Amino acid sequence: MSITQAMQIGISGLAANSGRVGNISDNIANANTDGYRRSFSQLVTTTTGSGVSATGAGVRASDRSDVSTAGGLRSTGVATDLAVSGDGFFVVSRNPNETNAANFMLTRAGSFRPDENGNLVNSAGYYLAGHAYGEDGTLGAVDMSSFAGMTTVNVGDVTIEGRASTEMSAATNLPAQAAGLATPGAPFVSSAEYYNALGGTERLTLSWEPTATDNTWVLNVSDQAEGPLGSVTVAFNDSGPDAGTPAAYTGATSVAAAPGGFAFDPATGIATLTIDNADTPQVIELAIGAPGTTDGVTQFAGDFTGLSSTVDGEAAGTLVRSEVAQNGDVYGIFDSGQRKLLYSVPMATVTNPDGLSEADGNAFLLSRSSGPLNLARAGEAGAGTVTSGALEGSNVEVAQELTDLIVAQRAYSSNAKIVTTSDQMLEETLSLKR
C-alpha cells in the first residue's frame, strides 16, 4: 500500500465520520420533534480487487433510519392530537382531498388541527386522510391496498339533516289498584318526543284514564300542537299466565280534525297516528303492546312507572366537536346530542418500515425496500391502535447520541492524523531528490 493510498483511506475515514456526525447532530436537533425517527450512519469497509488479492480501501458511511422503533407517548388533552400505539402510520397528503397517489405519504406525527375549512392538518402542513362513512353509517367497498378512495378528514361545518319519525313504541305499568273504583281517580299522563320532517321535535301525550270497571282503562292520545287524536279502551288479564298483559283493545275512536286521524289495530296493539303538522301529514305507528305480551303497557299492582319510549328519526344538528376512537373511527358530536360516524382513519403498514424513504416534514414515502402498502383498520391485522389526546415523541436517546458524538469525534481526529502523517511522509519522499 502506498503513502497516497494511506492518505486516501484517511480521507475516506474523515468523510464517513463527518457524515456520522451529521446524522448525530440531526438526531439531537430533533430530540423533541413529535414522531421523529433517528437516522444513523452504518460504517462499511471498502476494498479494491477481489479474493486473496483484495486490499482495504477505507470506509464509507451507509445512512439508515430507525423507523420501526417507537417513541414514548405524552398526553396533550387535545382530541385531534393522535398517536399510534403499535405498528403503522397515518396516511397524509400534501393537499386536501388529494387525488394524485404520488402526493400521499406516511407519518407518525399526529399533531392535527382543523384549518380554516375544518380539514385536519398537522404542523408540517400535511392533511390527514381517511375513508368517509356514508349517511347510512357504512363504509362500503374500500381499496385497502392503495390510496384510492381516501379523502381528507374534515371536522368543520358538518350538519345532520332531520329525518321524520315513522315508528314509536311505548311501555309503562299501570297500577292495578287504580282501576275498578266507584269513583275513578285522575288519569296518569306521560309524553314522548318524536321528530318532524324538518328535524324539529314535537311531543305526543298519552293519558291513561282508569274506569269503574276492573282492569279496564281508556288511552287518550293527543299531539302537543294538533290537540286530541283519538282513544282506545284497554282491558287487562287479571289471572293465568298472561296476568297483567293486555287482553283486548276495543272502542277505538278518532277525534282528530281532518286530515289528521287515529286508527288502531287490536291484533297488534299498534295505533296509526296521522298528524297534520305539514303540507303532507306525518304518519307514525305507535306500538303499545300486542295482547298477551309484556313488551308494552302492563297492569300490575304497584306504582305507575312513567313512560319508556323509543322512536326512529333524527333531529337536525350542527357539529360541536369530534372524537377519535381507538379503532380509528372519527365521530361527530352534534348540538342535538347525536353521535355520528364521519370517517375511518386506517393504519398504513409496510413489510419493512426501515426501508421507507424520508420526506420533508417528518414524513415517509413508499419505496422498493419498504415493500407494498397495506391499509388496515386500527387494532386489526397487526396494525396499532389510535390514542386520541396524545402525541408520540421521537425515538432519540440524547445520552446515547452524545456518546456516539464523542466516539465519532475521536475517530475523525484519528483519521485526520493519518492524513497529516501521510502528508509529512510524502513531503519527506519528495525531498529525497534534493
Q: What is the amino acid identity at position 210?
A: P
Distances (CA, A) of 35 to 43, 79, 306: 26, 17, 54
CA distance 121 to 391: 14
Q: Residue 51 has what pLDDT? A: 65
Q: What is the amino acid identity at position 52?
A: V
The SS3 of residue 283 is: strand
Write out the three cell numbers for 100: 394524485
Q: Do the beta carbons of residue 284 and residue 165 sit within 8 Å? A: yes
Q: Is 75 exposed, middle or buried (0-12, 13-18, 19+ CB in 10 A)?
A: exposed
* 25 CB neighbour count, 10 Å cutoff: 12
Give the pairing of strands 390-392 and 73-75.
antiparallel
CA distance 420 to 375: 55
* 64 CB neighbour count, 10 Å cutoff: 14
CA distance 149 to 141: 10
Strand partners, 46: 58
Write out the three cell numbers for 125: 402542513
The DSSP symbol for 163 reads B
Distances (CA, A) of 189 to 76, 196, 273, 356: 49, 22, 18, 68
Q: Where in the chain is the domain with CATH 2.60.98.20?
A: 167-311
Per-residue pLDDT tens listing for the chain (434 residues): 578 788 888 888 888 888 899 999 999 999 999 999 999 888 888 877 666 666 777 888 888 889 999 999 999 999 999 999 999 999 999 999 999 999 999 999 999 999 999 999 999 999 999 999 988 889 888 999 999 999 999 998 788 888 899 999 999 999 999 999 999 999 999 999 999 998 889 999 999 999 999 999 999 999 988 899 999 999 999 999 999 999 999 999 999 999 999 999 999 999 999 999 999 999 999 999 999 999 999 999 999 998 999 999 988 888 889 999 999 999 999 888 888 899 999 999 999 999 999 999 999 999 999 999 999 999 999 999 999 999 999 999 999 999 999 999 998 899 899 889 888 888 888 888 66
Q: Do the beta carbons of residue 427 and residue 420 sit within 8 Å? A: no
Question: CATH assignment of 167-311?
Answer: 2.60.98.20
Q: Do the beta carbons of residue 143 and residue 177 sit within 8 Å? A: no
Q: CB neighbours of 102 closer than 8 A, spacing ≥ 6?
A: none
The DSSP symbol for 47 reads E
Q: What is the amino acid identity at position 294?
A: T
The DSSP symbol for 126 reads P
Q: Do the beta carbons of residue 297 and residue 188 sit within 8 Å? A: no
Write out the three cell numbers for 93: 397528503
φ and ψ at 243, to 5 degrees? -55, 135
Instruction: With CA atoms as reference, report the closest residue to 169 among 312, 2, 267, 27.
Output: 312
Maximum alpha-carbon separation in the chain: 142
Question: What pTM did the predictor assign?
Answer: 0.73
The DSSP symbol for 154 reads B
φ and ψ at 178, to 5 degrees? -85, -20
CA distance 252 to 258: 17
Q: ∠412-415-417 over CA atoms, to 5°? A: 110
H or E element that contains 408? helix 398-430
Instruction: With CA atoms as reference, report the closest residue to 286 among 165, 125, 404.
Output: 165
